[in-house]
Amino acid sequence: MAGKSALICGSMAWDTIMVFKDRFSNHILPDKIHRLNVSFLVPGLRREFGGCAGNIAYNLKLLGDTGYPMATVGRDFGPYREWMARTGVPAEHIKVFESEHTAQAFITTDLDDNQITAFHPGAMQQSHANKVSDAKDVAIGIVAPDGRDGMIQHAEQFAAARIPFIFDPGQGLPMFGGDDIKRFVEQATWVAVNDYEWELVQQKTGWTAKDIVQRVKALVVTRTGCGDAYRAGLLHGLLHGLDWQATGRIASLLGAIKIESLGTQNHQFTQAEFQARLKQSFGPG
């Protein structure tokens, strides 16, 4: 698959992250929970580029590959598009809906790392307006969290076009029942979930790991965060025909590098720096 590109079907989003310098538990009274009315002063605030498609494509670019995000965005996407241009992430398959906002998450974190999150899907709900067939010379795909109809249709389109793809339901998993998930797995080439999502998949489908791997080439279950960076590592390994040990090491290191920086697209490295850290972490070879 070397020399060809990945098509990354998923969300593009703004992440607004706020820090409350106290504990929610000090201000939420248990006997008043039925009439909750609280306000948190958040002197710390960051607005970050996010969304699964954007994050995966950014990390894949750092590894020297091309990943085309396929997503729907709103009228406020301009600064994000400029960022993509600066970082070399292509925007050919980003569709703008002027009547909508780009999907965005508002996350407030307290001193105990508890979080209160509000998510506005905005244009993400129109993700089915994009078609896999709009992209050319695609070697591999991924169906990452996105609008429900978009995820269903993009999986069907990858399968119909015989393009191998990763099914990565992520935070979109609650939108689907057991039969939906079974259909995704039957269409997919690989499945990637974290350990919590894996428990949900088993509960919803009644399938075991053996049931899944009889239907796909690999089931990948991660036990740490930085999932989008890790998925980029998986795509890199699959694009270049690497074995699973090498692919897993690259994906794990990419996740570790990402977690050293705040935000999902603020880390950088050269190929030489990455190779040096890979050798330092796992030894030569």
Report the sign of the C-alpha dihedral through residues 229, 126, 107, 203, in that order.
Answer: negative
Instruction: Report the run of H or E that residue 139 belongs to, with start and end.
Output: strand 138-143
Give residue for tokens 């990763």. Answer: 166
What does the domain layout of the chain look like in residue ranges?
5-10+52-71+129-282
Beta bridge partners of 142: 8, 166
Distance (Å) of CA 149 to CA 145, 153, 161: 11, 6, 18
What's domain 5-10+52-71+129-282's superfamily in CATH?
Answer: Ribokinase (3.40.1190.20)
pLDDT tens string, the chain, 285 residues long: the values are: 544 799 999 999 999 999 999 999 998 888 877 788 889 999 989 999 999 999 999 999 999 999 999 999 999 999 999 999 999 999 999 999 999 999 999 999 999 999 999 999 999 999 999 999 999 999 999 999 999 999 999 999 999 999 999 999 999 999 999 999 999 999 999 999 999 999 999 999 999 999 999 999 999 999 987 899 999 999 999 999 999 999 999 999 999 999 999 889 999 999 999 999 999 999 887
Report the sign of the C-alpha dihedral through residues 190, 197, 68, 256, in that order.
Answer: negative
